[in-house]
A and B are shown apart, each in its own frame.
Chain A
Amino acid sequence: MRFLAPHLLHLAWLALIPLALYLFKKKARRVPVSTLLFFRSLAREHQESAWLRKIKKWLSLLLTLLMLFLIVLALARPVGEAGADSPGAVVLLMDRSASMAARDEKGRTRLEEARQLARAKLKSLPEQVVVSLVACDAKAHVLLSRSRNRRECLRLLDELSPRPLTLRPDIALVTAARLAELEPGTQVWHFGDRPFESGADLAYQFHSAALDAPLNAGITAFQIRPAPLAHDRYEAFVKVTAAPANTRRVTSTLEVTLAGRLAQLRELELEPGESSALILPLEGVKGQRMTVQLKTPGDCLGWDDAVAAVLPRSRPLVVAWVAENADPFTELALTSMIEAGRIEMLRGTPAAWPMSDKPDVYVFEQWLPDPWPADRPAIVLNPPKSAGPVQVRRLTGAGLPHESVRSAAPEHPVLFRVSSSRLAITQTGVLDTGASLEPLWMAGSEPVLAAGEVEGQRLVVSAFSPARSEQLALLPAFPLMLGNALYWCAEQAAALAEIQTRHPGDLLEEEGLLRWTEWDGTRFLETTEVLQGGVTAITRLGAWENGDDRTGVSALASAAETSVPARATEDSASASLPAFAAGPVFRDWPAILTATLLFLLLLESWLFHRKAVY
């Protein structure tokens, strides 16, 4: 027997109280009476047994101490030790993530299938086996802990429903492992659509509720933002993925509506497992609602088929530009963004450093502060020396001209829609990117543009002089690159919080009435939700607006959940675990303690009241 709360065993000192009371108890008052005649007849009903009279003093103390001991023992939550006669326990891991909402041709969800499997397995279990029920999605919820109450377990099973959340197998397994530690011979039965890969150290058994031939395509990424250099223009990034388990190539239609009108229509053909990333330019005004819906014939999962968003009303980014010698190209790029209303600029010279106002992003040009400010993301253009995380060796003279530049990471957000073709630049320094910075542009074998995170600070460093570079080609590329860099650096800033795509389960700090354009898996609904304030977890898919014109997007956007798996030909672990045999009746220590305590109370009551130990 082990104890889950052994620190409560210290309460055993309470036994000293009845012991002291017993040792220092007040003696009965002696009262002289004329006759015991009538008292004797009164006591006839309460006549104590002679043997009881002899042991009553000790018996009373003993029973009190025993009861106290049992109570302390029960508080310490004992659990049974491993033994040969243990019937063991089962931890039911019920997957209720988004993919469990996939329906078969009869319209049954995978969770319903899993529930049916679980009910059948539960009925075949011996009564003594202890059952725990864990519902897992992005978190693991222990709905029933170590109980023999099958009826309660079945009731909780019936209450389960899929949630638009991404499954976290690691969390589910940790919870299952902790529950398994409490009871020897615990088997973990996982009911879901795909087995966990790292459950090998557990007595793990997977029961598949997956579809035999699933067909699914869904939106696995979504992001909307204002175009950096233009008014009333937005860019939506949408990634569509076909499930790898699809049996055939699918043809999907992507419908984009803006303010209720069809804005774009794209047709995609996707092989199983194939993804397609789209950038959808949108022309609209802030506050308009847009929806993106993916229609795929035979699609089994609806939650990943649509996204709704409100064109964001983001406030301008505040950029602090500190330059020793301002490059006209930089000034031109930043000025165009100011005109587009995307940024507000705090311009200063090194003499004004440090700044009293705190911007969203620092831009240092041909100058680096010392000490290095690590509190904001920074864009360092053409640094003259090394400082902080920026390690550069300045080239002597006018720099090293390069005829062409190669994109080392064209998918990086900083290079979004930035063409590097026909760029001729003049390198002014040699960057040491180290392990934290990723080279984006390479001039020859040297990086001239790099980006990355150094100890949580986003950083973009360029080592070329735009003024001395080929101007014609750099003219459109450099402002776009700088705008991208600003947005990428300030991604976590409060100014851009509204355009971040959130997921169900994320925490939302809102209060009051939220108006939702909610996606229920089949259609969009206009709903409302009242939040009492504080932090609330998002449970819906769609777009919301509150009374203060704050908006947000909640989308499933999970490649893992969109990849609805197919049932394996053979459940790998289904036959590997031994069947449970009926064990001894008493394995539940709390039940034993409670029964003993009850018995002692009854015994004491009978001895000292019914039998009147006087």
Chain B
Amino acid sequence: MSQAALEREDLFDAAFLDRLRSLAVRLRKRRALSRRGAQSTPATGFTREFKDYRHYTPREDYRAIDWRLYARLDKLFVRLYEETQELNLHVLVDTSASMARPFGEKRRQALRFAVALAYLGLAAQQRVSLYSLSDTVRQELPPLRGQGNIEKVIQSATRLDFGGLTDLERGFTEFRPTRQRYGVIFVLSDFFGRDVNTASHAIQRAAAWPGETHFVQILHPEEREPRIEGEVELDEVETGERRRFWLTRRDVQRYSETFDAFCDTLARECAAHRMDFMQCGATEPFEDRFLDLLNRGSALAGGV
């Protein structure tokens, strides 16, 4: 049994997929009670679904004139049709080393979120794209549609290589979906950059993205409150930089305060740009947190 297979079982076992399916059903039922039809928009288009009439104005396409109505009423009307829009789902997974080491739970949680989101998107006949984000952003999967592609998503997620540095600013700059690829963007990351302010700057760049953006910060509890004291040599997994510290309890407390301030800044920055920000513990139960995410009013949840 290969290492990839092992990890696949660990991440997406059969039980997980079953739970995912039941989750999708639950969501669909809930949506069905509250809404009718799929993703209608106020705009008119060229589908076969008739929507309304309107008086003809010069320079409009004369092919839209309803000649039968003209014969009855002697007035020119044009027919308006329902326009349906295809939704794109972009899932960006932070694949820097800090997401896999020293706390592997972060990687597991991020990939579970990614697969679950992709599953929901595919089930809702949306185009799902998977990206890896480290020092740059790479498209790991082309836009896929249809529930049958979930296996491809899982395989791709399993193959993601977690390592290297985080460059949020560069990644968020390079990731710029076109107008046609308008949709919902999920960023799964710990948002640890080279500097305390890097993440805030990156979020400002993400404000220009077309669509609905969700940031999910995945953290391990020990990242907020490290259980270390005394003389230690800290080894940063991304850069390999080592520094010696003599940490007292008071130092750890001040560390936690700094960490909380960082997270608060991220949340404020997201709120300022009307983007969703959610914090998720790497060791927290996945389903609860995933439902929390969907309950925050995502278009994805509405489309299922």
Which residues on A are within 8 Å of B, measured CB to CB? 27-43, 612, 614
Instruction: Contacts A42-B254, A42-B255 given; indicate if A33 touches B234 (C-beta within 8 A).
Output: yes
How far is B220's CA from A467's CA once the two chains are assembled, in angstroms? 125
- Tell me if B286 counts as interface (CB < 8 A to partner A): no
- Residue with the greatest number of chain A CB neighbours at <10 A, chosen from B230, B243, B262: B243
How far is B192's CA from A42's CA once the two chains are assembled, in angstroms? 16
How far is B238's CA from A35's CA once the two chains are assembled, in angstroms? 7
List 5 other contacts, CB 8 Å, given A39-B234, A41-B258, A42-B245.
A30-B242, A31-B233, A33-B236, A35-B236, A40-B243
- On chain B, the residues within 8 Å of A33 by CB distance are 102, 223, 226, 234-237
- Tell me if B74 counts as interface (CB < 8 A to partner A): no
Instruction: Decide if the interface of chain A is mainly helix, strand, loop or mixed.
Output: mixed
Q: A-B pairs with the 8 shortest C-beta distances?
A: A34-B98, A35-B192, A32-B102, A28-B231, A28-B233, A36-B236, A30-B233, A38-B258
Q: A39 contacts B237, CB within 8 Å?
A: no
- Residue with the greatest number of chain A CB neighbours at <10 A, chosen from B190, B192, B234, B246: B234
How far is B198's CA from A35's CA once the two chains are assembled, in angstroms? 13
- On chain A, the residues within 8 Å of B238 by CB distance are 34-35
Render B215-242 as a binary contact track against A, CB cut-off 8 A, 1 for contact.
0000010010010101111111111011
Q: A39 contacts B243, CB within 8 Å?
A: yes
- Tell me if B101 counts as interface (CB < 8 A to partner A): yes
- Tell me if B244 counts as interface (CB < 8 A to partner A): yes
Instruction: Contacts A43-B243, A614-B244 given; indicate if A34 touches B190 (C-beta within 8 A).
Output: yes
Distance in Å from the Cβ of A605 to the closest Cβ of chain B?
14
Q: B251 contacts A42, CB within 8 Å?
A: yes
- On chain B, the residues within 8 Å of A31 by CB distance are 226, 228, 232-235
**Which B residue sits closest to A29, measured CB to CB?**
B232
**Which B residue sits closest to A48, measured CB to CB?**
B244
Q: A42 contacts B258, CB within 8 Å?
A: yes
- On chain B, the residues within 8 Å of A614 by CB distance are 231, 243-246
How far is B195's CA from A53's CA once the two chains are assembled, in angstroms? 24
- Tell me if B196 counts as interface (CB < 8 A to partner A): yes
- Tell me if B175 counts as interface (CB < 8 A to partner A): no
Select A39's contact among B101, B103, B255, beta carbons within 8 Å: B255
- On chain A, the residues within 8 Å of B195 by CB distance are 37
- On chain A, the residues within 8 Å of B290 by CB distance are none
Distance in Å from the Cβ of B58 to the closest Cβ of chain A?
63
- Tell me if B56 counts as interface (CB < 8 A to partner A): no
Instruction: Contacts A42-B251, A43-B245 given; indicate if A37 touches B192 (C-beta within 8 A).
Output: yes
- Tell me if B182 counts as interface (CB < 8 A to partner A): no
Q: A32 contacts B235, CB within 8 Å?
A: yes
Q: B246 contacts A612, CB within 8 Å?
A: yes
- On chain B, the residues within 8 Å of A29 by CB distance are 228, 230-233
- On chain B, the residues within 8 Å of A38 by CB distance are 196, 255, 258-259, 262
Near A by CB (< 8 A), chain B positions 246-295 give 246, 251, 254-255, 258-259, 262
Select A36's contact among B103, B230, B243, B246, beta carbons within 8 Å: B243
How far is B230's CA from A30's CA once the two chains are assembled, in angstroms? 11
Select B103's contact among A30, A34, A41, A612, beta carbons within 8 Å: A34
9 A-B pairs with C-beta separation under 8 A: A30-B233, A32-B236, A33-B235, A35-B238, A37-B195, A38-B196, A39-B243, A41-B258, A42-B245
How far is B94's CA from A34's CA once the two chains are assembled, in angstroms? 13
Near A by CB (< 8 A), chain B positions 89-136 give 98, 101-103
Instruction: Contacts A34-B102, A34-B190 given; indicate if A39 touches B245 (C-beta within 8 A).
Output: yes
- On chain B, the residues within 8 Å of A34 by CB distance are 98, 101-103, 190, 192, 220, 223, 236-238
Q: B232 contacts A28, CB within 8 Å?
A: yes
- On chain A, the residues within 8 Å of B223 by CB distance are 33-34
- On chain A, the residues within 8 Å of B103 by CB distance are 34
- On chain B, the residues within 8 Å of A39 by CB distance are 234, 243, 245, 255
**Which B residue sits closest to A41, measured CB to CB?**
B258
Q: A32 contacts B258, CB within 8 Å?
A: no
- On chain A, the residues within 8 Å of B226 by CB distance are 31, 33
Distance in Å from the Cβ of B156 to the closest Cβ of chain A?
24
- On chain A, the residues within 8 Å of B98 by CB distance are 34-35
